Amino acid sequence: MKKKSIFSAIAILLLIAVGLGLVSLGYSRWHHIQLNAALQKAVDADDATWAQQLLDQGADVDAIIPEGLTALMRACQSGRENAARALIQHGADVRFQGVVGASPLYLAAEYGFPNIVKMLLDKGADPNANTHSGHTVLDVAESARRVKSRSSNQLRPPTLAQFDEIIQLLHQAGAKRGKRR
């Protein structure tokens, strides 16, 4: 009988320990998700200080949000220069390619942000990375320059001069054309 009660006590203690571990693990995961969501908000606000604080607290600099973008990709797509700089300084992967093969450099070129393009190239972004469909950053920059409607959702759409600057930066970095549409 004593053996049964000892085993019961051990089982109860084990269940409590597991339960506490699960609670702790659940909280940690929830906290991490909240930090990453807040990081996306900091990027949207172009608030480098807030982004830095969140990264220091454990936000994942390369976490992928439901849209398939990292915080750096989102900053590059929306022209959030301060946030992009903070993310890069904190080790964001400038060569990351999303679901369709688009990189932060690809998005900055597509949406017309030459300062971010230069920043990414200076930090080692690949000007010749192909998307899954075979297009390069130079392809998208030239296409966006021709169409210019890619950025029509912005308050201040990029000018032709901004796309010309991006194309020049890419050429200087050795960018080549890929598969044309």
- 147 vs 84, residue with greater confidence: 84
pTM higher than 0.75: yes
Structure tokens at 24: 């702790």
- The predicted pLDDT at position 28 comes to 75
List all residues 6 or more positions away from 13 whose beta carbon is below 8 Å from its beta carbon: none
- 8 vs 143, residue with greater confidence: 143
- The predicted pLDDT at position 17 comes to 52
The answer to whether residues 134 and 178 touch, using CB atoms and an 8 Å cutoff, is yes
CATH number for the domain formed by residue range(s) 2-172: 1.25.40.20
Label residue 29 by pLDDT band (50, 70, 90).
Answer: confident
How far apart are the C-alpha atoms of 151 and 84, rounded to whole Å? Answer: 18
Domain map of the chain by residue range?
Answer: 2-172
The answer to whether residues 99 and 107 touch, using CB atoms and an 8 Å cutoff, is no
Label residue 22 by pLDDT band (50, 70, 90).
Answer: very low
- The average confidence (pLDDT) of the chain is 85
What Cα–Cα distance (Å) separates residue 120 from each residue in 89, 100, 110, 117, 127? 11, 19, 14, 5, 9
The answer to whether residues 48 and 86 touch, using CB atoms and an 8 Å cutoff, is yes
The percent of residues in the chain predicted with pLDDT above 90, rounded, is 63
The answer to whether residues 112 and 163 touch, using CB atoms and an 8 Å cutoff, is yes
